[in-house]
Amino acid sequence: MTLAEPSRKTSVLSVRALHKRYGELVAVEELSFEVGRGEIVGLLGPNGAGKTTTINMVLGVLQPSAGQVLVDGIDVARRREAALARTNFAAVYAPLPGNLTVWQNLRYFGLIYGVRGLPARIEALLRQFSLERFRDTRCGLLSSGEQTRVCLAKAMLNRPPLLLLDEPTASLDPATAQDIRQLIRRLAREEGGGILWTSHNMGEVEEVCDRVLLMSRGRLLLQGDPRTLPREHGAGSLEELFIRVAREPLQFGAGR
């Protein structure tokens, strides 16, 4: 049994029959899912499953070979600028310019997104992410945890209906990662936006995500509540189910 998809009325992200091919290589195939408002959805799968390709198509960085992506009801292919104004992104492999201070980075990206009342918004985010004392510190001098908080503050500048988080806690110590997870859950509740979250930390996924999507070989194989999905497929934990999908994708329909 899988969870029902959010209705289109409440969906902030709709991915419909998405394909991405590079010649004979199929990176993403027949991928369809939705993310509802206030919902945190985990996009899971082994390396090469198609997760980053999917995120890049949602962002409009890659053009799909076929299919459609709607952000807040806006077709990314037809109105990319309008869709991106409703989206933001954070990842440990995409750090902010290290030669700019925290405040300069937030101002720079705030101007790009056309954030109204930008100085007040920056001050609010500095408080929210406990960054006040780093406002004049160059980002390249910050610790991994501090840089992650700045990246998340940047991602919240425009109050995006859709937030994409690609391994946001991968390089953090356990205490800092816990703080970030709690903060993101609180933001999802308070701001009401949808979050698409990728991670290889299954304990984190169980703690944070309302629903998970398990991919392999470019296909969506399983989806459901991360706390009950393993039992539905005879696995003792989400990590065990993840490993089975990674090692035996054909068992779940990959490559059909």
pLDDT of residue 144: 83
Q: Which of 159, 176, 200 is the last residue of a domain?
A: 159
Distance CA(220)–CA(60), nearest Å, equals 20
Is the pLDDT higher at 1 or at 231?
A: 231
To the nearest whole percent, how much of the chain has pLDDT over 90?
Answer: 69
pLDDT of residue 5: 42
Give domain status of residue 145, yes or no: yes
Tokens standing for residue 256: 């059909």
Do residues 89 and 109 make contact, with C-beta atoms less than 8 angstroms apart?
no
Query: What region does 45 belong to: left with phi over 0, alpha with psi -120 to 50, or beta?
Result: left
Q: Is the domain of 121 the same as that of 224?
A: no
pLDDT tens sequence across 130-175: 899 999 999 999 988 889 889 999 999 999 999 999 888 877 788 8
Q: Is the domain of 253 the same as that of 242?
A: yes
What is the tally of structural domains in the chain? 2
Is the pLDDT assigned to residue 7 strictly greater than 60? no
Is the pLDDT assigned to residue 88 strictly greater than 90? yes
Q: Which of 114, 135, 159 is the last residue of a domain?
A: 159
Output the pTM of the full model: 0.88
Give domain status of residue 82, yes or no: yes
To the nearest whole percent, how much of the chain has pLDDT over 70?
Answer: 95
Is the pLDDT assigned to residue 178 strictly greater than 70? yes
Give domain status of residue 3, yes or no: no
Domain range for residue 237? 29-86+162-256
- What does the pLDDT average to over 204-214? 94
Q: Is the domain of 252 the same as that of 138?
A: no
- What does the pLDDT average to over 208-217? 95
pLDDT tens sequence across 15-63: 999 999 999 899 999 999 999 999 999 999 998 899 999 999 999 999 9
DSSP label of 138: B
Amino acid of residue 249 = P
Q: Is the domain of 58 the same as that of 146?
A: no
- What does the pLDDT average to over 234-241? 94
Give domain status of residue 213, yes or no: yes
Cα angle for residues 184, 208, 70 (degrees, 5° grid)? 70
DSSP label of 249: G
Tokens standing for residue 226: 């991360």
Is the pLDDT assigned to residue 256 strictly greater than 60? no
Q: Is the domain of 102 the same as that of 82?
A: no
Q: Is the domain of 166 the same as that of 233?
A: yes
pLDDT of residue 220: 95
Q: Is the domain of 179 the same as that of 253?
A: yes
Q: Is the domain of 44 the same as that of 167?
A: yes
Mean pLDDT of the chain: 89
Compute, in degrees rounded to 10, the torsion defined by CA atoms 84, 87, 92, 95: 50
Give domain status of residue 17, yes or no: no
Distance CA(139)–CA(86), nearest Å, equals 25
In the block, tokens 């990319």 appear at 80
Is 94 in a helix, a strand, or coil? coil
pLDDT of residue 255: 54
Distance CA(106)–CA(30), nearest Å, equals 37
Q: Which residues contact 110 (CB under 8 A, 6 or more apart)?
A: 118, 121, 122, 157, 158
pLDDT tens sequence across 179-199: 888 888 887 888 788 999 998
Phi, psi of 88 (to 5 degrees): -150, 170
First to last CA, the chain: 20
Give domain status of residue 6, yes or no: no
Give domain status of residue 4, yes or no: no
Is the pLDDT assigned to residue 128 strictly greater than 90? no
Is the pLDDT higher at 132 or at 94?
A: 132
Q: Is the domain of 77 the same as that of 171?
A: yes
Closest of 215, 174, 217 to residue 196, by C-alpha: 215
Q: Is the domain of 167 the same as that of 244?
A: yes
Is the pLDDT assigned to residue 239 strictly greater than 70? yes
Q: Is the domain of 241 the same as that of 226?
A: yes
Read off the CATH number of the domain in which 39 is found: 3.40.50.300
Q: pLDDT tier at 254 (50, 70, 90 boundaries)?
A: low
Do residues 30 and 19 make contact, with C-beta atoms less than 8 angstroms apart?
yes
Q: Is the domain of 131 the same as that of 69?
A: no
Q: Which of 142, 159, 176 is the last residue of a domain?
A: 159
pLDDT of residue 10: 74
Give domain status of residue 15, yes or no: no
Other CB atoms within a 10 A radius of the CB of residue 63 amount to: 11
Is the pLDDT higher at 119 or at 47?
A: 119
